[in-house]
């Protein structure tokens, strides 16, 4: 069994979109992806759609919307995936399994979400659906409140790292300045991110607004092809590894500060690829909150538990560091339309490997890691990508 390859993509601007719904976002993104791959709708054997929804829209059955957005795709088999904030990666794995099993040669992976039309307080409650409501439904400030608790627990165990969280936020906003698709293209600076103010209030626990990812609209699409078909196309990005690991949803059943399943997914991916972190050129990781990126430094092996602050202090993950992280600006600056996020992360990594990242481009990028998680490190996906054509 050979995993398929990425042969094309597209990406809308993330942010507050004039598109009224996910169908309109798909209509914007899908034709551009087909054109980028050099194919037509008639070449597509399957569509794998990632949309979280959970109340963002009364319209569900979102797998069928690709065929509404692009009528030529109306009779192509289509399926909708949902796996919290890792919804896009779940759709990607479904498409890869479909091709690897020989059921088709070319597949579309479509990630989309329309969030900004929903009142902010309601957004928080919708996202709290990615927690274990039987025990965690009363957490104040929604999903931000859950990560506020995680941050407070981390500070209690390892000391106040507010300054380092501000450094992570500032790094990602600085990177986002170079990303034309980013929701917020503004260099906020460390001092702003580390200072409580009217423009940067506390949101939950120690978390400030600048520690939280953005409520965004957007869509991203990947075109996948089997190896034989990819060999005939303009470009091909291969998966040296792809892994998926889970932990119990309820915070009461694990030490959430370990990000244990994230650590497992990273270890499996590096072993599968026959690589170490030192071999990677860059990583796109899931910074839904700045504390998540710090914990992910530890999970991927850049630091021992409790020492993630040293990674940003030492500049390891800056653009000019040993392992640049979130050159796209990450979820923090690029935005976080839930269903589109995992797809977007893979698009950003593929762009770097194909020397197609414009101002974001890291010279000589050869291998890229992608980490996308759902919930508080409940479901965890790692990909290691390499350009082969």
How many beta carbons lie within 10 A of that of residue 358, not counting itself? 10
The yes-or-no answer on residue 336 being catalytic is yes
Would strands 218-225 and 106-113 be described as parallel, antiparallel, or unpaired?
Answer: antiparallel
Rounded to the nearest 10 degrees, the angle between the axes of helix 290-300 and helix 142-158 is 50
How many beta carbons lie within 10 A of that of residue 198, not counting itself? 5
Given the residues 23, 36, 85, 288, select the one marked as catalytic: 85
The yes-or-no answer on residue 85 being catalytic is yes
DSSP symbols for 335-355:
---HHHHHHHHHHHHHHHHTT
Given the residues 244, 286, 309, 336, select the one marked as catalytic: 336
**Structure tokens that stand for 30 in this block:** 């899908």
Beta-bridge partners for 81:
50
**R_g of the chain computed on alpha carbons:** 19
Residue written as tokens 């069994």?
1
End-to-end CA distance of the chain: 20
Contact 82, 52 (CB under 8 A): yes
Residue written as tokens 């088709």?
104
Contact 237, 180 (CB under 8 A): no
Residue written as tokens 């928080």?
124
Please give the sequence-ordered ranges of beta strands (E in DSSP) within 85-142, or none if there are none: 106-113
Closest CA to 350 of 9, 1, 67, 3: 9
CA distance 341 to 167: 22
3-class SS at 85? strand
- Enumerate the active-site residues: 85, 336
């Amino acid at each position: 069994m050979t995993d398929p390859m990425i042969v094309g993509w597209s990406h809308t601007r993330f942010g507050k979109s004039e598109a009224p719904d996910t169908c309109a976002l798909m209509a914007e993104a899908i034709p551009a992806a087909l054109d980028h791959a050099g194919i037509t709708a008639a070449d597509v054997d399957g569509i794998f759609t990632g949309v979280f929804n959970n109340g963002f829209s009364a319209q569900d059955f979102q797998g069928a919307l690709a065929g509404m957005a692009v009528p030529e795709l109306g009779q192509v088999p289509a399926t909708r995936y949902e796996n919290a904030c890792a919804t896009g990666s779940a759709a990607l794995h479904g498409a890869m399994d479909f091709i690897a099993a020989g059921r088709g040669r070319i597949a579309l992976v479509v990630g989309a979400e329309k969030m900004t039309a929903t009142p902010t307080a309601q957004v928080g409650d919708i996202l709290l659906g990615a927690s274990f409501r039987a025990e965690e439904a009363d957490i104040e400030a929604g999903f931000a409140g859950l990560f506020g608790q995680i941050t407070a627990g981390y500070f209690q165990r390892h000391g106040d790292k507010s300054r380092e969280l501000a450094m992570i936020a500032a790094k990602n906003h600085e990177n986002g300045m170079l990303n034309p698709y980013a929701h917020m293209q503004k260099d906020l600076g460390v001092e702003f991110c580390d200072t409580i103010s009217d423009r940067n209030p506390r949101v939950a626990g120690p978390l400030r607004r600048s520690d939280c990812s953005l409520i965004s609209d957007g869509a991203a699409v990947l075109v996948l092809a089997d190896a034989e078909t990819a060999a005939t196309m303009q470009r091909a990005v291969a998966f040296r590894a792809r892994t998926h690991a889970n932990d119990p949803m309820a915070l009461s059943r694990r030490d959430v500060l370990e990000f244990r399943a994230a650590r497992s997914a990273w270890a499996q991916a590096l072993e599968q690829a026959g690589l170490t972190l030192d071999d990677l050129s860059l990583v796109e990781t899931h910074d839904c909150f700045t504390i998540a990126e710090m914990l992910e430094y530890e999970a991927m092996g850049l630091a021992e538990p409790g020492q993630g602050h040293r990674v940003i202090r030492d500049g390891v993950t800056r653009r000019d560091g040993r392992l640049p992280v979130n050159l796209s600006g990450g979820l923090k600056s690029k935005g976080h339309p839930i269903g589109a996020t995992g797809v977007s992360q893979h698009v950003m990594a593929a762009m770097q490997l194909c020397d197609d990242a414009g101002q974001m481009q890291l010279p000589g990028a050869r291998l890229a890691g992608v980490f996308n998680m759902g919930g508080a490190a409940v479901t965890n996906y790692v990909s290691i990508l390499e350009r082969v054509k």
